[in-house]
């Protein structure tokens, strides 16, 4: 089936740059663009890193056969994860950690587990004070106690990552970390790596991608910093990484998800965030009202709350 690409998609698809950054607003066809980019390079070995398993399964239906669609955990499991199969768990419980470190001080146990999780999603090779939750570093006494937390979390990690130590289980994030620390060179298997939703990459994945670029691999990162959802899990906007300063940048601003009315409201909001590139609504005609019509039979309002700390005070901002 022939696809009619927009005048924004075609330059990205036909780019000859080794490093490409694709800033794609909501509904602007970023996956279609990445598929077109892949179709234009049938002789290249391409890796498409998917955010989760469901995205991987969908991608396998969309991308051509010369593209390998894998989650980062899938890549890590192939390389090192299998050797932890006998001690693999979905996550460590507080009781598991307490038993492993020989403590029933549950506040300490929680601190060690939180610090360990901060380390696992970082690009660092050992547990550091920067992985300790900020609320446990508020004064000098707490910072001194944090040194013990770091030491304990480091010892816990060493036991987790030791396949011979059956006393402490390893997690999926654990073997991903072990694989990343081995500094894998994916250029032996692939020529180009495609990274979608790069705005939600954690430092570990962002560092892994940067390593492949340093090895000479072609890299295409795609995403939208305005759709960053996982900062609370340690995500960083990989689209803004220093090593991408020399990347060729393309913008997808023409959304097929909504019409001009929604785009107008979206641009007002994006303006307050400092966005200077306008979003265009090319979808079905939409209308934005101040309130729902009185005669509507069914209505559903979906909301979530974002907790921000402003000047020491908590500010709840609802999003509907």
Answer yes or no: is 54 within a domain.
Answer: yes
Of 149, 143, 110, nearest to 127 by C-alpha is 149
* Other Cβ atoms within 10 Å of 11 Cβ, number: 13
Is residue 307 located within the same domain as residue 161?
Answer: no
Q: Is residue 3 part of a domain?
A: no
Output the six-digit token pair for 256.
């097929």
Q: What pTM does this model have? A: 0.82
Domain check: are 294 and 265 in the same one? yes
- Mark which of 204, 235, 252 sits at the end of a domain: 252
Euclidean distance between CA atoms 38 and 222, whole angstroms:
14
DSSP-derived secondary structure letter, 291: S
Q: Cα–Cα distance between 145 and 149 in angstroms, integer?
A: 7
- Give me the residue label for tokens 């005048």: 7
Domain that holds residue 35: 9-79+182-252
| Residue appearing with tokens 């040194």 | 147
In angstroms, the CA 206 to CA 49 distance is 12
Answer yes or no: do 71 and 191 share one domain: yes
List for the chain the helix, strand, coil content (%; round to 5): 45, 15, 40
Does a structural domain hold residue 166?
yes
Per-residue pLDDT tens, the chain, 320 aa: give them. Answer: 578 899 999 999 999 999 999 999 988 999 999 999 999 999 999 999 987 889 899 999 999 999 999 999 999 999 999 999 999 999 999 999 999 999 999 999 999 999 999 999 999 999 999 999 989 998 999 899 999 999 999 999 999 999 999 999 999 999 999 999 999 999 999 999 999 887 777 889 889 999 999 999 999 998 887 776 665 555 566 667 778 888 999 999 999 888 999 888 888 988 888 888 999 998 888 778 777 777 877 767 766 655 444 444 444 444 44
Indicate the residue among 164, 179, 194 that finishes a domain. Answer: 179
Same domain assignment for residues 205 and 174: no
Q: What angle do CA 233, 91, 130 make, to 5 degrees?
A: 40
Q: How far is Cα 209 from Cα 195, in angstroms, rounded to an integer?
A: 8
């Amino acid at each position: 089936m022939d696809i009619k690409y927009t005048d924004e998609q075609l330059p990205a698809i036909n780019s000859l740059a080794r490093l490409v950054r694709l800033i794609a607003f909501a509904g602007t066809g970023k996956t279609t663009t990445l598929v077109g980019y892949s179709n234009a390079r049938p002789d290249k070995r391409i890796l498409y890193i998917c955010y989760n398993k469901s995205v991987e399964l969908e991608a396998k239906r969309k991308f051509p056969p010369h593209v390998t669609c894998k989650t980062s955990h899938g890549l890590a499991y192939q390389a090192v994860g299998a050797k932890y199969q006998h001690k693999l768990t979905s996550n460590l419980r507080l009781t598991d950690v307490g038993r492993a470190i020989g403590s029933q001080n549950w506040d300490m146990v929680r601190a060690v587990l939180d610090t360990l999780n901060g380390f696992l999603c970082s690009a660092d090779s050992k547990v550091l004070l920067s992985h300790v939750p900020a609320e446990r570093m508020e004064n000098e006494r707490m910072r001194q106690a944090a040194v013990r937390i770091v030491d304990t979390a480091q010892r816990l990690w060493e036991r987790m990552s030791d396949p011979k130590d059956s006393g402490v289980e390893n997690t999926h994030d654990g073997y991903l970390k072990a694989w990343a620390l081995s500094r894998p060179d994916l250029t032996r298997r692939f020529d180009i790596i495609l990274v979608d939703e790069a705005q939600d990459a954690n430092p570990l994945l962002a560092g892994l991608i940067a390593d492949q670029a340093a090895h000479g691999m072609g890299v295409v990162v795609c995403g939208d910093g305005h759709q960053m959802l996982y900062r609370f899990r340690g995500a960083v906007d990989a689209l803004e990484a220093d090593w991408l300063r020399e990347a060729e940048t393309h913008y997808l601003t023409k959304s097929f998800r909504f019409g001009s009315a929604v785009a107008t409201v979206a641009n007002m909001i994006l303006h307050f965030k400092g966005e200077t590139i306008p979003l265009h609504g090319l979808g079905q005609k939409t209308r934005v009202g101040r309130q729902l019509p009185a005669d509507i039979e069914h209505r559903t309002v979906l909301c979530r709350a974002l907790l921000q700390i402003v000047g020491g005070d908590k500010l709840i901002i609802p999003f509907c």
